[in-house]
Amino acid sequence: MPDRGGGPTGPRIRVGRPSRRVRTLLMTLGVLAVLGMAFTMFAGFWTDWLWYRSVHYSSVFTTTLSTKIGLFFVFGLLMALAVGFNIWLAHRLRPPLSAMSMEQQNLDRYRMGIAPYKKWLLLAITALVGLIAGASASSQWRTWLMWVNGVSFGQKDPQFKLDVSFFAFDLPWYRFLLGFGFAAVIVSVIAAALTHYLYGGLRVTSPGARATAAATGHLSVLLGVFVALKAVAYWLDRYGLAVKSSDFKATDNWTGLRYVDATAYLPAKTILFCIAVICALLFFATLWRRTWQLPVIGFGLMVLSAILIGGLYPALVQKFEVQPNEQAKEAPYVEKNLKATREAYGIEGTQVAEYSGKGNPDDKAKLRGKVDDAASIRIMDPNIVSPTFQQLQQMRNYYAFPTNLDVDRYTKDGKDQDTVIGLRELNLAGIPKKNWINNHFRYTHGYGVVAAKGTEVDSGGGPVFTESNLPSKGDLPRYQQQVYYGEKTTTYSIVGGPQKEIDYSDDDGEKTTSYRGDSGVDLSNPLNRAAYALSFGEPQILYSGAIGEGSKILYNRTPKQRVEAVAPWLTIDGDAYPAVVDGRIQWIVDAYTTTNGYPYASRTTLGDTTADSLTATNNSRAVVAQQNQVNYIRNSVKATVDAYTGDVKLYQWDTKDPVLKTWMKAFPGTVKDKSEISDTLMAHLRYPQDLFKVQRELLTRYHVEDANTFLSGSEVWQVPNDPTNESGDAVPPYYLSMKMPDQKEQSFSLTTTFTPNGRDNLAAFMAIDADASSAGYGKIRVLKLPTSTTVGGPKQVQSQFNSQQDIAETISLLSRGNSRVEYGNLLTVPLDGGLLYVEPVYVRGGGLKYPLLRKVLVSYDGRTAFENTLDEALSTVFGTKAPSTEPPPDEGDDTTKPPPSSTNPTVAQALDDAQKAFDEGQKALERKDLAGYAEAQKDLEAALKKAEDAQRAADQPAGGQNGDR
C-alpha cells in the first residue's frame, strides 16, 4: 500500500556534479581510508594471533575469539531481528486513511522525506542496535563458557537444595539472558511506538481514538512480553537471595538469606511472580478485547503489590519480629553463612588453639636453647636490603633489582636455608646512551641471580652472599643466566638478528651474545613487520636494517602479563618470585580461580584485603583486578615463566576445584596435570601471600564457630598496622622457617598477628604451612591469646622498644648527621608459651646509599634487648649464652684453617679494618661520643668500600661469553 503524503513541492534544483577527476580522487581517498582502517584492525588481530602462536597457546586465542564472534553475531542478529521486525510490523499495521489533522499533516513531511530511503533506514537502525547488542554480548564470553562447561560442585546450598554450580555458573547466564530480553523489548517498544506515531497509528493531539486497534494490539503484546520477563525476574530473584549482599551488624558484605529474606522476601517474590504472570496474560488478551483497560489495571495492581508485598511487608517483619529478638531469629542463618564462608575461602580446617602468651622465666638457659629450635630467625629483610643488593651487586647501571626482594629456600649441605633472592634485571633508565637501537636491540636482557643468607650478616652488617658477582657464581648449580623476561622488563626487544646484544661487561670489555631461544615473533616476514610497526607506532620496525633473517620481537615480558594473557580466566597473585630450577631461572606465579556466586559466602574485595604496607609503596605487588568482588577463591594453578625463553607452563594445583575443572573443559590442553611438577620445582613452590591475606582478613571474624558470638562481635579481630613505618597500612605477612607448638620440627611458614578490634594488644598469632612439598601444606594454625590477660601486640612492642631511654638514645645517635635508621620486619615467634619478637635495625650511615644491619631488637615476656647481633640480643634477654653446638677440637689434628689473608690479603685486611671501625663506633655510642662515632662511621665506610673494590677485582673473570655457568 502506498505511503500517504501530500503538500506542495518546490521546483527541483539541479546541482552541478563535481568533475570526473575530482570524483576519481575522492573515490581513491575513500578507498585508501577504508583500506587503512581495515589494515589497522587487521594488524591488532594479526599481532595477537602471532604472539599466542609463539607461546604455543593459540587455542586460547581461537577459543576466546570464536566465542566473542559467536556471541556478537547471535545476539546482535537477535536484537536486529527483534527491532527490525517490530518496525516492519508497525509500518505494516499503519492506518490507510489520509491525515485529517494538523498533527498528521505536519508528520506527512517526515513521511515524504524518508519514503525513498525506508529500506535503508530500516537496515541502518537494525544494524546499529545489532552492533551495540552484539558488542555487549561478546563481553560475556566468560559467562557463556562457564555456563556451557560448568561442572558440579558436589554440594548443595542450604535453602533451595540446588548444587552450588547453579549459582556460580547458571544464574549469571540466566541473568544476562533476562537483561538482554528486557533491552530487546524496551528498544522494540520505543521503535514500534515511534513508527506507529509517524504513520498515524498513535495520535497525541488528533481528535478521536488515541491509538488504532492494530497499534493497541501490537504494543500490548510487547508490553505483555515485558511483564512476562518481569515475572521471570521475580522467580530468579528468589535464587538471587542466596548470593545477595547486604550490610549486617556482624559484618560488611554479608551474603545470603537472613530471617526477613526467608520469611518475607522469598514468599513475596513468589506472589509477585504469580501476579506478573496474570498481568502478562491480560496484556496478551488485548489482541481480542482491543482495550488497555484490564492490563493497565493489572499493571497498577502489580506495582502496588511490589510496594506493599515486596517492600512494606518485609520492613514490618524486620521491625516488629526480628529486631526485638534478633539473636534468636538470625542465629540459624548466621550458622549457614559461617559454614559457607569458611568453605568458600578454604579456612574451614583452621586449627584454633589456646595459647597463654606468657613464657616461663624461671629456666632462662632452657629458653635460650630452644630459640634455634623454634625458628630460623631471618634478620635479612627482603623489603629493606634491595638498595644494598643494588649497591654491591648491580655492577652496571643498566641492571637493577626489584624494590622488594623475595624469600625462598635452597639446600646447603643437606639443610634447607632461608634465602633472600633477586635477579639482576634490565634497567633501561641506566643505559649510557639512549637511542632506538640501544633501547631495543643492544640492551635486551638482565644477567644472573644474586642471593644471600636470610639468617646471617657479615661483619659490616651487609648480606652474606651465596650467589653473587658477574657472571654470578656461588652455591647454586649451573644455570642459564640471561634474564629476558622479568618484573622490570616492560618494553619490547628485537633479538636474534644481525645486531649483536650486550651480554655483560667486565674488565676486558663488552661480551656480546645473540638470542637463541624459541620465543618471540619472527620479523623476517614483511607483513609481520608492517603489522608490528603499526601496532607499536614505530615505523622503523618496517624499514630498519638492524632487522633481518632470524630477528624476533619479544614483548609481554613480565611474568604476570604472560600468565594473564595465556589464562585470562585466572586472577594473578601480586608477587611473582624467581627460582633456579633444573638449570633455568623460572618465575613462579600463583594464580587463582574465583567466583562471585557461592551461596551464603560473604564477599571480599581483592584490592582491599590484599593491601598492606608493601603494596602501598610498590604498585607492582598489587593484585590484578583490584575491584573484583569475590566470595570464593582457590589457588588452583601454579604457573612458571622461563626467564630466558619466556615459556609459560600452567600446572593444576587444586585438583578438586570445580571452577578450574570448568575452565579446563573450556580450554582443554592448556593446564598440565599436577603430576608433571618436577621435584626440584616442587621444592620452591610456596603458599601465596595474596590468598593468605584474603584468608587472614576473613579470619578476623570467621574464626568463631558460634552464631551468637559472631553476632555479638565480642571476638572480632583486626590485622594490625605495620609498626615499622608510618604508612598506616596493614602489616604484611612474613615467610619464616619456624615451629608451631604442635609441630615436631620447623616448617617454612607464612605468619601474621591479630589484635582485638580497636585495641593494640595481641589477640592471636596465625601461621600456615607454606612448604608445598610438605604433608601439612596449607594447614592454618591460630594461637588464640586469653582475653583475661594482656599480651603486647606489634605496635606496643615497637613502642616499648622506642620508649626505653637507652634504646631511644642509641637510635638518636644512629640517626645523627646524614644517617637514617630503617626498621626491618618485626618477626613474631611462639616460644615455650610466650612470644619472641625480633626486629633488625638498619642504618644508612654517612654517605652510604644502602642500609646495613647495625642493631637487633629482641623482646620476650616484657624483657627487651638492643644489641649489635641477634646472638648478643638473645643472650641479653635470656641472661645466658646459647649452648655451643660446635664439636670439641681434635687435639691430634694440627691442621688449621688458613687465615683469610692467605687467599686475598687486601680483602682480609679491609674487613679487619671494618670490624675495628665498627667496634670503635659501638664504644663511642656507649660513651655518648658523637664525634668519635662519626669518625668511626667514616672509617667503616672507607674500609667496606675498599673490601668491596678488592673483592670485585678478584672475582672478575678473565673472559667467557657463554651465559651458562
Asked whether the beta carbons of 444 and 515 are under 8 A apart, the reply is: yes
More confident residue, 248 or 794: 794
Task: Give the per-residue pLDDT at 572.
Answer: 92
pLDDT digits (tens, 9 = 90+) for 607-664: 888 888 777 666 555 555 556 789 999 999 999 999 999 999 999 999 999 999 999 9
Can you read off the three cell numbers belonging to residue 684?
620452591
CA distance 507 to 954: 11
Q: Beta strands 629-630 and 648-652: pairing type?
A: unpaired
Q: Beta strands 351-354 and 399-400: pairing type?
A: unpaired
pLDDT tier, 113 (very low <50, low <70, confident <90, very high otherwise): low
* 400 strand-pairing partners: 425
pLDDT digits (tens, 9 = 90+) for 324-373: 888 888 889 999 999 999 999 999 989 999 998 887 766 677 888 888 88
Task: Give the per-residue pLDDT at 160.
Answer: 93
Assess whether pLDDT exceeds 90 at residue 788.
no
**CA 215 → CA 112, 197, 205, 722, distances in Å?**
21, 9, 16, 69
Q: Beta strands 780-784 and 351-354: pairing type?
A: parallel
Q: Residue 525 burial by CB count (10 A; 0-12/13-18/19+): exposed, middle or buried?
A: exposed
Residues near 584 by beta carbon (within 8 Å), at least 6 away in sequence:
479, 480, 642, 643, 644
CA distance 442 to 493: 9
pLDDT digits (tens, 9 = 90+) for 486-532: 998 989 999 988 889 998 887 777 888 899 888 899 998 888 998 99
- Residue 522: which of 489, 547, 491 has the closest Cα? 547
- Residue 480: which of 645, 678, 647 has the closest Cα? 645
Rounded to 10 deg, the angle between the 905-926 and 805-814 helix axes is 130
- Residue 851: which of 392, 456, 427, 378 has the closest Cα? 392
pTM of the model: 0.85
Assess whether pLDDT exceeds 70 at residue 904.
no
Can you tell me the mean pLDDT for 797-823?
81
CA distance 140 to 834: 54
Assess whether pLDDT exceeds 90 at residue 289.
no
Assess whether pLDDT exceeds 70 at residue 880.
yes
Task: Give the per-residue pLDDT at 13.
Answer: 44
H-helix segments, 141-212: 141-149, 164-165, 171-198
Least confident window among 5-14, 204-213, 759-768: 5-14
Task: State which amino acid sits at residue 659.
Answer: V
CA distance 666 to 660: 10
Across the chain, mean pLDDT equals 84
pLDDT digits (tens, 9 = 90+) for 52-69: 999 999 999 999 999 999
Task: Give the per-residue pLDDT at 627.
Answer: 63
Task: State which amino acid sits at residue 511.
Answer: K
Task: Give the per-residue pLDDT at 36.
Answer: 67
Asked whether the beta carbons of 760 and 795 are under 8 A apart, the reply is: yes
Task: Give the per-residue pLDDT at 18.
Answer: 64
pLDDT tier, 250 (very low <50, low <70, confident <90, very high otherwise): low
Map grid coordinates 629493606 to a residue.
384
Asked whether the beta carbons of 340 and 412 are under 8 A apart, the reply is: no
pLDDT tier, 903 (very low <50, low <70, confident <90, very high otherwise): very low
**CA 740 → CA 409, 582, 656, 686, 828, distances in Å?**
19, 32, 28, 18, 11
pLDDT tier, 914 (very low <50, low <70, confident <90, very high otherwise): low
Can you tell me the mean pLDDT for 268-274?
93
pLDDT digits (tens, 9 = 90+) for 687-713: 999 999 999 999 999 999 888 888 888
First vs last Cα of the chain: how many Å apart?
Answer: 87
Task: Give the per-residue pLDDT at 568.
Answer: 93
